[in-house]
């Protein structure tokens, strides 16, 4: 019996962990064929995330090729942490310092879209609010007491979160109130975070891009193959009546 419970908890555990209780995750439209979106996402990532987080499984030249960005453009506009186009997307912040400053080292984001899922990332980046009791001055309705500050607040703006009591007297999040607007309107910000999430999904599995391309070639091949196959069939069945 004990064994059975153990097995059951192992099987169902990840499902509960992934669901994260009853938090609401927003849907996001992930499209790896949308190169413009991936390029915008890459720009946000190198400008706003790479100062603390690495994406160590990704090389700049691989990204340049996959996202169809000329290498010179990458070298001039998207490379801040190395001068080698074949270099890895590594942060320059030493992990010991990061730990000292934030209490926690920012994790590598190479596989974050696979471990957390795109909906989680999309919701997370849109769930920051002001909180004076937190060391960074920020908190997050999806990730309570997060050690990461809201690095995109200049775009989204700074918001307060308003909580209310539910029927059991437990404080639950109700809505946000804008305190200081950012440079983007709400739907512009959602679109920017969608691009960023799209990029992180690509980073999590760059081979998907190759598979997409391969899939198209396979389909073209099958269509071409259809012609001789059809003619052959006609030939074979000519005398069968």
Contact positions vs ligand HEC (CB under 6 A): 48-49, 51-53, 102, 104, 106-107, 109, 112, 116, 121, 124, 146-149, 151-152, 196
Q: Which is nearer to ligand HEC, 69 or 146 (CB)?
A: 146
Kindly state the smallest distance separating residue 199's Cβ from ligand HEC, in Å: 9
Distances (CA, A) of 96 to 100, 147, 177, 183: 6, 15, 36, 33
User: What one-character DSSP code corresponds to residue 82?
Assistant: -
Q: Which is nearer to ligand HEC, 66 or 198 (CB)?
A: 198
Kindly state the smallest distance separating residue 104's Cβ from ligand HEC, in Å: 4
Q: Which is nearer to ligand HEC, 147 or 158 (CB)?
A: 147
> Hey, CA dihedral for 91, 92, 96, 99, is it positive or negative?
negative
Interhelix angle 186-204/35-48, nearest 10 degrees: 90
User: Measuring CA to CA, which residue among 128, 208, 209 is closest to residue 173?
Assistant: 128
Q: Residues 228, 161: contact at Cβ < 8 Å?
A: no
* Category of 2 on φ-ψ map: left (φ > 0), alpha (ψ -120 to 50) or beta: alpha
Kindly state the smallest distance separating residue 130's Cβ from ligand HEC, in Å: 16
Kindly state the smallest distance separating residue 103's Cβ from ligand HEC, in Å: 7
Q: Which is nearer to ligand HEC, 87 or 103 (CB)?
A: 103
């Amino acid at each position: 019996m004990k064994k059975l419970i153990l097995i059951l908890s192992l099987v169902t555990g990840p499902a509960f962990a992934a669901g994260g209780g009853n938090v609401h995750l927003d849907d996001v439209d992930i499209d790896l064929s949308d190169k413009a979106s991936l390029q915008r996402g890459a720009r946000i990532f190198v400008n706003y995330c790479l100062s603390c987080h690495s994406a160590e499984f990704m090389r700049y030249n691989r990204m340049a090729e996959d996202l169809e960005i000329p290498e010179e453009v990458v070298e001039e506009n998207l490379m801040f942490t190395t001068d080698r186009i074949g270099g890895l997307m590594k942060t320059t912040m030493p992990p010991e310092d990061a730990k000292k400053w934030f209490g926690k080292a920012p994790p590598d984001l190479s596989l974050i879209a696979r471990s957390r899922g795109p909906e989680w990332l999309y919701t997370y980046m849109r769930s920051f609010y002001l909180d004076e009791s937190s060391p960074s001055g920020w908190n997050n309705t999806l990730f309570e007491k997060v050690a990461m500050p809201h690095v995109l607040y200049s775009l989204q703006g700074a918001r307060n979160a308003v909580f209310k009591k539910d029927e059991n007297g437990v404080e639950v999040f109700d809505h946000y109130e804008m305190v200081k607007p950012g440079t983007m309107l709400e739907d512009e910000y959602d679109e920017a975070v969608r691009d960023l999430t799209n990029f992180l999904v690509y980073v999590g599995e760059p081979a998907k891009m190759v598979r997409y391309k391969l899939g198209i070639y396979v389909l073209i091949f099958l269509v071409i193959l259809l012609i001789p196959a059809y003619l052959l069939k006609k030939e074979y069945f000519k005398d069968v009546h």
